[in-house]
């Protein structure tokens, strides 16, 4: 038998060996796989234990996968949609995108409560000890704060006034207190309406001691949580606070979304900036400098508004639901990365 014939026979023998493992090989492969996948041991540690090379360990582990001795499954809780989450993150260039299954009974409702629960878990991951957490007004933010059960020690500051000062105890003031209670840190609430009749009144309120103290923390915020509103009744607190004449004026400018009393057109450009002069709220430029801005917003009706705000470059992460995600994944041309925090207006 010449050398080429010997090599052919050797190759056939190796192929048969790879296809069928004897009982000793099966037991060894199972043991190695257990050490690697369940006990977290390195290939070098396994090699030393079994008296073989780390290259053989790698081959055995590969064979264990091929022979179905080991099955690797990527599983997330049923309510999380991993595929949509990853696609949404990639499309908008977000740091984090978490998509939750829309409740069947609330498909048309904005901001289902389960978004707040998932948002609370996400903040528990993102906030580190010593951070300054900023919370803006919004139903989803209030749901998130109510669901919080873990936060490292951090300062919590309110980023906007409240929708109605008479409901402060049930709204964003209470959300700030709740987050501070969970974290054990200081709370800086704002006892003032979000929207004032005129700029002079807003300026006077900003200079009041308690409100000014909260404003001093805005430039120190490291993680912020915000809500997004569509420009329609019941889905935008700012829309609901304005007169019919004012609503018509801003609609004529092309408003598509609202976040923290800032208005945006469909391309993410800020419009109606005069409104901000009447509002108790964090400035857009301050939001842009915050390293992590998490928006919690969902529902099919909010899809266009979420798209507009993501295009503004003010948001780095998003918690939403499948109804909104399906719209966002097909909404016009792909935007620039949200992590490019430049202003679409160029100012």
Q: Render pLDDT for 102-121 as a digit per residue (tens, 0 to 9).
A: 876 555 556 677 888 899 99
pLDDT at 77 (0 to 100): 57
**Averaged pLDDT for residues 312-318:** 95
**Given CA atoms 314, 257, 131, 325 in this order, what sign does their dihedral have?**
negative
Flag whether pLDDT at 343 surpasses 80.
no
DSSP code string of 147-193 = H-----S-EEEE-B-BS-GGGGGGSHHHHHHHHHHHHT--EE---SB
151 exposure class (CB count in 10 Å sphere: 0-12, 13-18, 19+) = buried
| 238 vs 320: which has the higher pLDDT | 320
Which of 32-41, 70-79, 88-97, 298-307 has the least mean pLDDT? 70-79
Flag whether pLDDT at 304 surpasses 80.
yes
Flag whether pLDDT at 3 surpasses 60.
no
pTM listed for this prediction: 0.75
**Averaged pLDDT for residues 151-163:** 93
Identify the architecture of domain 80-340 in CATH. 3-Layer(aba) Sandwich (3.40)
pLDDT at 227 (0 to 100): 93
In this prediction, residue 256 has a pLDDT band, given cuts at 50, 70 and 90, of very high
**Given CA atoms 144, 149, 151, 157 in this order, what sign does their dihedral have?**
positive
Residue 295, phi then psi, degrees to nearest 5:
-100, 135
Three-point CA angle 312, 313, 316, nearest 5°: 130
How is the beta sheet containing 223-227 ordered, strand by strand?
96-100, 317-321, 292-296, 223-227, 132-135, 155-158, 187-188
**Averaged pLDDT for residues 142-170:** 81
Domain ranges of the chain: 23-67, 80-340
Which of 78-87, 115-124, 273-282 has the least mean pLDDT? 78-87
What Å distances lie between residue 197 and 24, 163, 252, 258, CA to CA? 82, 14, 21, 19
**Averaged pLDDT for residues 252-273:** 93
Flag whether pLDDT at 13 surpasses 90.
no
228, 258 in Cβ contact below 8 A?
yes
Helix 43-50 / helix 54-66 crossing angle, nearest 10 deg? 100
Q: Do 80-340 and 23-67 fall under one CATH topology?
A: no
Which of 31-40, 67-76, 103-112, 331-340 holds the top average pLDDT?
31-40
Q: How many other CB atoms sit within 10 Å of the CB of residue 89?
A: 18
Could you tell me whether strands 155-158 and 187-188 are parallel, antiparallel, or unpaired per DSSP bridges? parallel
Which helix or strand (DSSP H or E) is residue 294 part of?
strand 292-296
| 223 vs 116: which has the higher pLDDT | 223
Which helix or strand (DSSP H or E) is residue 124 part of?
helix 113-126
Task: Give me the chain's average pLDDT, please.
Answer: 85
pLDDT tens digit sequence for 170-188: 577 889 999 999 999 999 9
pLDDT at 17 (0 to 100): 40
pLDDT at 314 (0 to 100): 95
Identify the architecture of domain 23-67 in CATH. Orthogonal Bundle (1.10)
Could you tell me whether strands 257-259 and 229-230 are parallel, antiparallel, or unpaired per DSSP bridges? antiparallel
Beta bridge partners of 160: 281
**Averaged pLDDT for residues 59-75:** 81
């Amino acid at each position: 038998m010449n050398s080429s014939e010997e090599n052919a026979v050797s190759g056939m023998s190796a192929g048969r060996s790879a296809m069928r493992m004897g009982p000793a090989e099966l037991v060894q492969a199972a043991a190695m796989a257990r050490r690697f996948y369940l006990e977290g041991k390195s290939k070098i540690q396994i090699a030393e234990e079994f008296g073989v090379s780390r290259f053989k360990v790698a081959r055995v582990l590969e064979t264990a996968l091929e022979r179905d001795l080991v099955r690797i499954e990527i599983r997330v809780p049923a309510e999380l949609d991993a595929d949509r989450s990853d696609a949404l993150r990639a499309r908008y260039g977000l740091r984090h995108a978490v998509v939750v299954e829309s409740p069947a009974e609330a498909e048309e409702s904005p901001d289902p409560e389960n978004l707040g629960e998932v948002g609370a878990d996400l903040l528990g991951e993102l906030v580190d000890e010593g951070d300054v957490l900023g919370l803006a007004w919004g139903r989803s933010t209030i749901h998130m704060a109510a669901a919080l059960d873990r936060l490292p020690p951090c300062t919590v500051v309110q980023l906007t006034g409240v929708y109605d000062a008479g409901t402060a105890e049930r709204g964003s003031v209470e959300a700030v207190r709740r987050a501070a209670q969970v974290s054990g840190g200081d709370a800086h609430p704002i006892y003032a309406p979000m929207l004032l009749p005129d700029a002079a009144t807003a300026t006077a309120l900003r200079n009041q001691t308690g409100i000014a103290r909260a404003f001093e923390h805005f430039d120190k915020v490291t993680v912020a949580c915000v809500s997004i509103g569509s420009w329609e009744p019941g889905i935008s607190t700012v829309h609901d606070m304005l007169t019919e004449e004012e609503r018509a004026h801003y609609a004529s400018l092309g408003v598509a979304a609202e976040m923290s009393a800032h208005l945006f057109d469909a391309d993410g450009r800020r419009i109606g900036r005069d409104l901000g002069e009447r509002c108790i709220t964090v400035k857009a430029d301050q939001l842009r400098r915050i390293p992590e801005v998490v928006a919690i917003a969902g529902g099919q009706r909010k899809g266009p508004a979420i798209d507009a705000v993501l295009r503004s470059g003010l948001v780095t992460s998003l918690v939403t639901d499948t109804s909104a995600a399906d719209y966002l994944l097909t909404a016009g041309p792909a935007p620039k990365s949200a992590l490019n925090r430049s202003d679409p207006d160029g100012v």
